[in-house]
Structure formats: C-alpha cells, structure tokens
A and B are shown apart, each in its own frame.
Chain A
Amino acid sequence: MEKILIVDDSKLMRKLIRGMVDEIPFLHSCELFEVEDGEKADELLGKEKIDLILLDWNMPKINGLEIAKKINSNAYENRPVIVMITSEAAKYNIIEALESGVNHYLVKPIVKKDLMEILKKI
C-alpha cells in the first residue's frame, strides 16, 4: 500500500484520522492525501493511484456514497479499498454502503483500535 486518501469535511476529523494512521507502523511509508469534499476526492482519484480511501459519507458537493459507487464502477485507474467513516449508524445505511462498494464501515466516533483492526485486514 502506497497512497492513502482521507476525505472528510471536518478539518479536525481529518487531523484525527491522519494522527491515527500515523501511529500505525506498517503505514509509515505511505503517502497521505486529504481533501474536504467529494468533488476534490473525485479529482484526486482521477490523478493519483490511491490504494486506500478513508471516506466520510455526508459531505458537500459530492457525498461519500457517490464516490464509493464511482470507485466500484471502475471509473478510476486504481480501485482503492474503501473504509467509510461516518456518523450514519442505521443498519440500512451500512447495508446501502456495502452494496455500493464500501469494503469496511466504521461509525463515528471512532477509536484507533477499531481503525487498526480494519487496516490490519487490508
């Protein structure tokens, strides 16, 4: 894994996730990108071969679910693993996300241990 993209409209949430990723030894060599909305994520995914995307759902312009669907339709050169990190906790949301191509689902507030467990499996 070489390139990781963090997408969240909260600056502090991006910082929190970046901090968690930074503390995971096997990800130290990865290049980290972060953007604040789905539109910028879409642009970046078109330019960079992202291996892992940590993706919020509710965001301005293009939401995370639309990005997941686009990734799943092979719209980009690379097909990153998608970890959705969102406050949306209803089961129907989780099912919808997984059906849209999301690989792993984490409900905010997140803790490092939960993120680590997922990243270890990837």
Chain B
Amino acid sequence: MSAYNNKFVVPVIDSLKNLFNKTLSLEVNERLPYIMTNDDATASSFDIISIIGLSGEVRGSVILGFKREVAMKVSSKYWQKEMVEFDEDVFDTVGELVNIIAGNAKQGIESYRIYISLPTVFQGSEIKATTLSRTNKDIPTIMIPFTSDVGDMHVILSYKFET
C-alpha cells in the first residue's frame, strides 16, 4: 500500500472507532489493513453491506459490512433498544453508520474536498464486496477488519485522488 493511498485510511479508522467507542460505548479495535486480492473478495462475505460513494478530489467508495447478528447487535446498541428483527430498521441503521463514518472521516483529510453520496444498503446472504479495483488495477481495494465485543465488522475502501 503506497503512502499516497494511505491518506484516507487512518481518518476512516479513526472515524469508525470514534463512533463506536465514544458514542456507542462499544470497544472496537482495528486489525491490520490489507490490500484485497480477488481471492480475498471471494473469501469474505457479509449479510448486509452499506456503500457510500466518494467524489470530488477523492473518488471511490466506502463499504461497511456485517454479518446479520452483528448488524442487529450494533443497531440495538446505536438506538438503545433491542432489535429483534433483521428488518428495515437495521438496514436504516447500517446506512446511517456508513454515512457517519464517511462524513466524519472527511475531517481527517480536509486538504481534499470530498463529496459523499447517499448510502445504499444491500442485504442478502454471502454478499461479496466488489470494488473499483476489479476494473481498474491502479486502484487498490483496502480491507480493514475490526473486532468488537459484539462481533467482527469490516470496512472496504477503494479510492483514488483526482488531484
């Protein structure tokens, strides 16, 4: 991973940890980020993902992925009420979380003007995250695994600087 590409990784990690650790009182720790290969993409799957697009001086996407039970526990924590169904309230929450992570991360890279899209949420089973790098080999896809008391979660970043 080049130093150039690292610039948005730390703000995203900080943003996620700040959201979970400080606001939700949920201890979340990152493991070592790595550049995904196609094999990694096939090996990691989720029950729900939320995607937010980046445009402006940084172009790409931020993906947040969970297994079903982790998404439900995180949602319960976020709204301080037990989520018993894997329903639109959980989907709404996962969309809101990626929105906050991406929006807050901009604070850590203010020399670049970045616009974020509305989040899109997909739920299913065995969702494989695909990114820009499948079609453009110059753009690495960076997987950041996180561990927490309620289970693992993953952020998948793919972006390039336009300036």
Interface residues of A (CB under 8 A from B): 9-13, 16, 58-60, 86-93, 107-109, 111
Contacts and interface: CB of A to CB of B under 8 A. Distances in A.
B100 A108 contact: yes
Given A12-B93, A13-B96, A107-B104, A92 B110 contact: yes
Nearest to B117: A58
Nearest to B110: A90
B102 interface: yes
Contacts of B106: 88-90, 93
Highest count of chain B CB atoms <10 Å: which of A59, A88, A111: A88
Contact of A88 (B23, B89, B93, B103): B103
A12 B100 contact: no
The 8 closest A-B pairs by CB, nearest first: A87-B103, A90-B106, A89-B107, A87-B100, A109-B23, A89-B104, A88-B103, A87-B99
Secondary structure call for the A interface: loop
Contact of A58 (B19, B79, B93, B116): B116
5 contacts: A11-B88, A11-B92, A58-B99, A90-B107, A92-B113
Nearest to A16: B79
B92 A12 contact: yes
A12 B107 contact: no
A33 B102 CA distance: 28
A66 to B, nearest CB: 14
B92 A58 contact: no
Nearest to A93: B106
A58 B79 CA distance: 21
Nearest to B116: A58
Given A12-B93, A16-B79, A60-B118, A108 B103 contact: yes
Contacts of B99: 58, 87, 108
Nearest to A59: B118
Contacts of A11: 88-89, 92
A108 B104 CA distance: 8
B114 interface: yes
A60 B95 CA distance: 14
A61 to B, nearest CB: 10
Nearest to B106: A90
Contact of A87 (B102, B110, B114): B102
Given A60-B118, A109-B19, A10 B104 contact: no
Contact of B96 (A12, A93, A107): A12
Nearest to A58: B118
Contacts of B105: 89
Contacts of B89: 11-12
A13 B96 CA distance: 8
